[in-house]
Amino acid sequence: MRVYLGSDHAGYELKMHLVNHLTKQGHDVVDVGPHVYDPEDDYPAFCLHTGAKVVADEGSLGVVIGGSGNGEQIAANKIEGVRAALVWRTEIAQLARQHNDANVISLGAREHTLDEATSFVDAFLATPFSGNPRHARRIAQVSDYEQTRKLPDLPSS
């Protein structure tokens, strides 16, 4: 599987670890950057480009990494077609794929050990979308809004 990875300075060490780990696992890894440690870099460009590459490459997945993962998730989700989930447990990585068909996960490098973060990524990559009709319906509602910017009707109570 092709996996795109992008980070900022806070996620640089984890990104480099994951590049090595995923390559050894047989994945086609694309390091979006940064390619050198720069304590003054900013995450948006790396995360936006990671998201754009995932959307343009059907069947690929992505990982964005920063200190907390919050800003990185927000940035990646600005790309139409990205469904980025902030992951903090293995079960959340699995649910992001099973229920939301997430194509990008965001990790907080300052929040987890290398082993923990690696296990989240492994679980994310190994878990397929469930295909459950109710989950597919919900994803379609978000995609429709993303394309039309028209809010869906609220259900009557």
Q: Tell me the pLDDT of the chain averaged across its residues.
A: 97
Average pLDDT of the segment spanning 37-56 = 97
- Judge whether 144 lies within some domain: no
Q: For residue 94, give both structure tokens.
A: 């699995």
| Residue of 102, 156, 150 whose CA lies nearest to 130 | 102
Question: For residues 13, 68, 58 and 151, what is the CA-based torsion angle, rounded to 10 degrees?
Answer: -170
Percent of the chain with pLDDT over 90: 98
- Judge whether 40 lies within some domain: yes
List the catalytic residue out of 72, 80, 91, 116: 72
- 9 pLDDT more than 90: yes
Average pLDDT of the segment spanning 56-72 = 98
Paired sense of beta strands 28-33 and 2-7, if any = parallel
- Judge whether 147 lies within some domain: no
End-to-end CA distance of the chain: 44
Alpha carbons 108 and 112: distance in angstroms, whole number: 7
- Judge whether 145 lies within some domain: no
Q: What pLDDT, on the 0 to 100 scale, is given for residue 157? A: 72
- Judge whether 7 lies within some domain: yes
- 139 pLDDT more than 80: yes
The question of whether 99 is a catalytic residue gets the answer yes
CATH number of the domain that residue 59 is part of: 3.40.1400.10
- Judge whether 136 lies within some domain: no
Alpha carbons 103 and 58: distance in angstroms, whole number: 10
Ordered DSSP codes for the chain: -EEEEEE-GGGHHHHHHHHHHHHHTT-EEEEEE-SS--TT--HHHHHHHHHHHHHHSTT-EEEEEESSSHHHHHHHTTSTT--EEE--SHHHHHHHHHHH--SEEEEETTTS-HHHHHHHHHHHHHPPP---HHHHHHHHHHHHHHHH-PPPPPPP-
List the catalytic residue out of 99, 111, 112, 135: 99
pLDDT digits (tens, 9 = 90+) for 98-134: 999 999 999 999 999 999 999 999 999 999 999 999 9
Average pLDDT of the segment spanning 66-87 = 98
- 37 pLDDT more than 90: yes
- Judge whether 156 lies within some domain: no
| Domains identified in the chain, total number | 1
Q: Read off the pTM.
A: 0.96
Question: Could you list the residue range(s) of the whole structural domain that residue 42 is in?
Answer: 2-130
